[in-house]
Amino acid sequence: MIIGEEIKQNTLRDTNNYYLNAPSDLFHPRLIDFALQHCGKRILDLGCATGNYTLELLKRGYTCIGADVNSAYIEIAQKRGIEAYVVNDKLPFSDKSFDSVIMFEVAEHLSNPEVVFSEASRVARNNVIISVPNCEGYEELIKQGLIFEHFLDRDHKNMFTETSLRKMLSGIFPVIDIQKGDPIYPLSLANLSQNIILRVLNKIHLIQPKYYFRLYVVAHIQDLNK
């Protein structure tokens, strides 16, 4: 018996297998809202896993196709009625096949994110919608004995900050809009009533969050100002 193995298994997530048994309705509502705000009607969900975001967007009236490197995930997505494909770095779609490509919580897992971003830009007409975990401020968190939850994922290969992500994307897309989202409020481990108070104080600008969990990106295919 390996001491602590149960704790390790329950804490460190391996996304190569995680979604095999994840709930079929597991998705982040803010990411759906983000897609609704920026996506055209025909969407490629690149890195779709078992298709939870794909299905939700289909329910909202979008045409959405899934793609992932994990064949076990794609098999589940297809059984759920999703048009989904096993892909590698080269996508099996023609240029400008989709209005938008979404890559939600994908790039941090990639060995060659620049190649995948380039392929996403090739098959998109309007934009590529991206979310990644934000890794800014980790030095200060460590001093407080804290780390971001996403540091515990076993298969994360990239740790993005706004600066590093912008630098990578700027060689591929002419216009990049990046916003920090999902704020981490002070005393976030306090009880619910205290957290509600903190959120109210934030709304009236009496307190501001110092850390943000996620970066939200709209990478435009064309510079409409030119």
CATH number for position 27:
3.40.50.150
Q: Could you say which DSSP state residue 14 is in?
A: -
Structure tokens at 121: 């830009």
CA distances from 110 to 15, 88, 155 (A): 12, 11, 9
Per-residue model confidence (pLDDT) at position 22: 77
What's the domain count of the chain? 1
Say yes or no to pLDDT of 70 above 90. yes
Residue 203: inside a domain: no
Structure tokens at 132: 């990644």
What is the mean pLDDT of the segment spanning 87-100?
95
Q: Are 220 and 124 in contact (CB under 8 A)?
A: no
- C-alpha to C-alpha distance for 181 and 43, rounded to whole angstroms: 22
Say yes or no to pLDDT of 143 above 70. no
Say yes or no to pLDDT of 112 above 60. yes
183: β partners: 212
Global pTM reads 0.84
pLDDT band at 189 (very low <50, low <70, confident <90, very high): very low
Residue 188: inside a domain: no
In terms of residue numbers, what domain contains 56? Answer: 5-183+212-220
What is the mean pLDDT of the segment spanning 40-69?
97
Residue 194: inside a domain: no
Residue 137: inside a domain: yes
